[in-house]
Amino acid sequence: MLFPLSFHFILGFIVSFIGSIPPASINLITIKIAASKGLNKALWFALGAVIIEFIYSYIAIAFSNQLTLNQPLSQFIQWLAIPIFLLLAYLYFIQRKSIQDVPLNETETQSIKQSNTFLQGLGIGLMNIIQIPFWLAYGTYFSSIHWIKTYSPYIFLFVIGICCGTFALLSVAAYYGKAWLGDSGWFKPNQINKWLSYLFLLLALIQLLKILLEV
């Protein structure tokens, strides 16, 4: 049974919101920005990341049949995610001490607050190409059980739902992250760089194991 337009939006929202709950790179970076730069900066970062997710998820859903059949392209995307994760792990690892225990004067603090987190969100979103196989899997599955149609306007509403779900979850993470990780919070934002480096390293290992197990 094929469902109406409203169901496509709701389904995309629910799957994306729930899928974004587990701690991941964008979640933690959003929390860190909220704690160190403020809620508005975190929301701009989230918006940048969501715009890229719109592009990636639309490509994955719209071309789910073609991408599924194109094994070389699918495998290339899977392998490409590993060096990207390792690069991000290294970058956050070397930054862990550059922020920690280094007091910022008023000018440096103002410079950080004025940094363009929207562009940072676009950059991190572009590196998160693992979204393509992620939404490719969901798109193929939902299409196979006739829950979604993979053509306009249905696909557009489904992808809009995906983006709204992700942004909603990131907004919640940013709001509570500022409360939990701020100056009076129980966890200091400069510690997140270390955990982000570990997370990206873990994602690289998981991705490698996933590829090897599928061979």
85: confidence class by pLDDT, cuts 50, 70, 90? confident
| Cβ neighbours of 164 (radius 10 Å) | 16
- Summarize the chain as % helix, strand, coil (round to 5): 80, 0, 20
Q: Which run of H or of E encompasses 20?
A: none
Q: Which sequence spans correspond to the domains of the chain? A: 5-84+104-185
Query: How far is residue 198's CA from residue 76's CA, in Å, rounded to a whole number?
Result: 24
Give the integer Cα–Cα distance in Å for 30 and 181: 11
Answer whether residue 98 shows pLDDT above 60.
Answer: no
Residue of 200 and 157 predicted with greater confidence: 157
Q: Which helix (H) or strand (E) holds 157?
A: helix 154-181
Residue that wins the pLDDT comparison between 9 and 115:
9
166 in Cβ contact with 53 (< 8 Å)? yes
**pLDDT of 102:** 39
Condensed to tens digits (0 to 9), the pLDDT of residues 33-77 reads 888 888 899 999 999 999 999 999 999 888 876 766 667 776 777
pLDDT at 109: 40
Question: Quick check: helix, strand or coil at residue 190?
Answer: helix
Q: How do residues 146-157 score in pLDDT, each as one tens digit?
A: 888 888 889 999
